[in-house]
Amino acid sequence: MRKLVDDKEVRSGQRGQILNLLGLRARLVSNRIVNSNMLRFPFYIGKEWQYSYKDRATFTVKFEIVSEQSVATQGGNFRAFRIERSNQWAQASDVWGSGVHATRGTYFYSPEAKVIVKYDSGNDDGYELHIELLEFKPAQ
């Protein structure tokens, strides 16, 4: 599988970060595994869940399935659940600053492909990340 970010190949060290971000791999926090249970099946519109963990800050991650819709990606068009995620953390640091910070993300999970086909996120600083499925071949 080829992975691209902004038309650049993803270095092998970044692959794990992307899998963590998408909730497809457990996080290693302070030498212990934190299983985020990002995808909690079964899915239905209105379902909500959350989890928290502590690293250098305390993180609270909330999810809500808000709709089912059509999503276009380079890999094709899919019916997908739209999952809204908010991640908030509070920290006190001389280096990074003190306060409450937040990121927002939207996942599009396709039951047909059995994978997240698109992900968009942004944070308080204006940073944005967009990931989408580049190719899809149904199982034979």
Q: What is the pLDDT of residue 140?
A: 76
Residue 47 placed within a domain: yes
Distance of alpha carbon 74 from the chain centroid? 19
Q: pLDDT tens across 12-61, in order?
A: 455 555 666 565 555 555 555 555 557 888 999 999 999 888 877 888 99
11 located within any domain: no
Q: Reply yes or no on whether the pLDDT at 91 is more than 80.
A: no
Residue 62 in domain:
yes
Distances (CA, A) of 51 to 17, 19, 75, 124, 138: 19, 18, 31, 21, 33
Helix (H) / strand (E) containing 8: strand 8-9
Residue 58 lies in a domain: yes
Pairing mode of beta strands 48-54, 32-34? unpaired
Give the residues across from 122 on adjacent strands: 104, 128
Higher pLDDT, 71 or 5: 71
Residue 89 confidence (pLDDT): 84
Q: Token pair of 15, please?
A: 């692959």
- Answer yes or no: is 15 within a domain: no
Domain hosting residue 105, numbered range: 40-132
* Number of neighbours of residue 57 by Cβ within 10 angstroms: 15
**Tally of structural domains, the chain:** 1
Report the predicted TM-score, pTM, of the whole model to 2 decimal places. 0.76
Residue 96 lies in a domain: yes
In a domain, 116, yes or no: yes
CB-CB neighbours of 117 under 10 Å: 25
Does 26 fall in a domain?
no
